[in-house]
Each structure stands twice: as C-alpha cells, then as structure tokens.
Amino acid sequence: MTQVVLNESLSQFSLLFVSSAMAFLALALVLFSFQLVKLSTAGDEVVAGKADRLSTSERAGFVMLWVATLVLGAGVVMRGIAAGRVPWANMYEFSISGAFLILLIYLTALKIRDLRFIATFISGFALVIIFAAVSLFYVEVQTVMPALQSYWLVIHVVVAIMATGFFSVAAGLHIFYLLKASGKAKALFDRFPTLVQMERVAYRFNVVGFVLWSFTLIAGAIWAERAWHRYWGWDTKEVWTFIIWVLYAGYLHAMATRGWTGKRAAWLGLVAFLSVIFNFTIVNLFFKGLHVYSGL
C-alpha cells in the first residue's frame, strides 16, 4: 500500500482560503440583506420590469458570492491534496465540501431559473456551515481508518453532499414560501415569484435531492457489506439516513398523489431538511456507531 504523506502546512493554507471565503460570504450576505430591505421599503411605483433587473447591491452581492465559491473551492482542493485523499472524511472536511457544493448548485441553478430572492438564505446558510467548520470542527489532516479507505468514500459521500445541496436550495424556497404565505411585508414579497411557482421549484429540487439520497442509501449498504460484511446493522447513522429518506418520500408522495400542497407541504419539507442537519450534527457529535466519523 502506498504511504500517504500528510502536509499540515498546506492544510493551513487551505484553512486560510476557507476563512477568506467566510469574509466574502459575509459581504455577500450584507449586500443581499440590503437589497431585501430596499425592496421592502420601495413604493408601488417600482415597475415590474425594473424589479427584474439586478440592482447595484445585488450585482455586487453575486460577485462576492462567486468569489467566495471559488476561494472556498480552492481551499477544499488544497485540503484534499494535503490529506492525500478526497476532502470529506471528517466533519470539518464534509462541512467545507458541503458548503462549496451548496453554493455551486445554487449559482448553477441561477443560470436556469431566477432564484435571486433566496440568495440571502443561501449565503447565510453557507456562512454558518463554514463558521462551524472552522471554529468547532477543525482537525489537522490525518489518515482515515481502514473502513474508509475505499473508492466508495468518493461515490457514497459526494452523492450525499450533492443531495444535501439540492435539499438546501429547496429549504430556502420553503422558508420564503412560508414568509410570503404569512401575508406580511407585502411590499417585499409581492416582487417574489408566486406561491405556486416557489412550490413547484422547491418540489423539483427535492425530487433531485431525493434521487441522490436514495443512491446514497443504496451505496451505503453496498459499502457496509464490503467493509463489515452486512448490508444493514441498525447503526445510528444508517437509521437516520433511512428516516430522512422516509420523510422526503412522504413529502413527494403527499405532493404528487394527495394534493398535500401549500403550507403543510412546505413545513414537511423543512422538517425533512432539519432531519438532515440533525443527522450531520447531533448524530455525529453525540451518538456512537460505526458511521460516526466526526474526527473530533
């Protein structure tokens, strides 16, 4: 087996890039928040055509968001090179890789559909993830245990991160759906897409996330058989991965066959997303099991 050479000095450069990405994200969050405040106080004389164009603050916010994504991506790559493997073998690495993919998925989706109105949520959520990674989850580069030394680490985990990215965008849509449905701040939310449009887009993001999460569940079982000679062992992480799958399956089934739309569907989507957050944080930090790889 090839000896892996760990490079802690490169890891520190990676940490510098990741921390710099936080600064750019914070600037983006301020600019997007300023845009929301400006919209909420604007009068009805603002015409629809003008609202469709990027304002100066919004344009600057997206520049900062792209810079943050590129800088963070560089930090993730350097961390992987420093560790001599893919950079998602512990909570710190999963967090920075996850934040990067969330931003990348959102910015890519902007090319297809106008999702500018959830930029505040996306930039704020990514900022919280990276802050937690740097302040709470950071560990020095280290080799991984034998069970993780497999190509399934690449396949299984990267698909789980991608699924989380799609779920995150959908969660932002659910939140703004509920805010608009509340009837408050009409001057702001009247300039957002309709409730039906937000619900449909959230549903589509959740569908993609669900497909990816289903593959995560299946790939995890195959990997478990290779590593521990059993497909399912009722490990805490396995159970919560299945619970998340059931919640999103319930959401999609209710939306597609029972017409369970509106606020109830949005709340169910958020409950499912909160279970993803719970699985990554509480389960990793406070539960024991074969799948708990916090690195802390």
Q: How far is CA 195 from CA 92, 191, 200, 268, in A?
A: 36, 11, 9, 16
- Claim to verify: residue 284 and residue 188 sit in the same structural domain: yes
- Claim to verify: residue 133 and residue 150 sit in the same structural domain: no
Distance CA 187, CA 36 (A): 10
Half-sphere exposure at residue 35, Cβ-oriented, CA atoms within 13 angstroms: 25
- Claim to verify: residue 128 and residue 167 sit in the same structural domain: no
CB 274 within 8 A of CB 243: no
- Claim to verify: residue 13 and residue 59 sit in the same structural domain: yes
Tokens of 264: 């109830």
What are the backbone angles phi and psi of residue 29, rounded to the nearest 5°? -60, -45
CB atoms within 10 A of CB 196: 11
- Claim to verify: residue 216 and residue 273 sit in the same structural domain: yes
pLDDT value of position 289: 63
pLDDT value of position 132: 95
DSSP codes joined into one string, the chain: -PPPPP-HHHHHHHHHHHHHHHHHHHHHHHHHHHHHHHHHH--TTS-HHHHTSPPHHHHHHHHHHHHHHHHHHHHHHHHHHHHTS-S-SSHHHHHHHHHHHHHHHHHHHTTTS--GGGHHHHHHHHHHHHHHIIIII-----PPPGGG-STHHHHHHHHHHHHHHHHHHHHHHHHHHHHHHTT-SHHHHTTSPPHHHHHHHHHHHHHHHHHHHHHHHHHHHHHHHHHHS-S----HHHHHHHHHHHHHHHHHHHHHHS---THHHHHHHHHHHHHHHHHHTHHHHH--STT-----
Where is the domain boundary, 112, 144, 176? 144
**Average pLDDT by stretches of 10, the chain with 296 residues:** 70 95 97 86 51 80 97 96 88 94 96 92 96 93 72 83 96 94 76 90 96 92 78 82 95 86 92 95 78 58
Where is the domain boundary, 103, 122, 144? 144
Q: For the chain, how many structural domains are there in total?
A: 2
| Domain encompassing residue 11 | 1-144
Where is the domain boundary, 100, 121, 144? 144
Please choose, from the candidates 153, 158, 33, the residue with its C-alpha nearest in 3D space to the C-alpha of residue 101.
158
pLDDT value of position 115: 93
Q: pTM (2 decimals)? A: 0.89
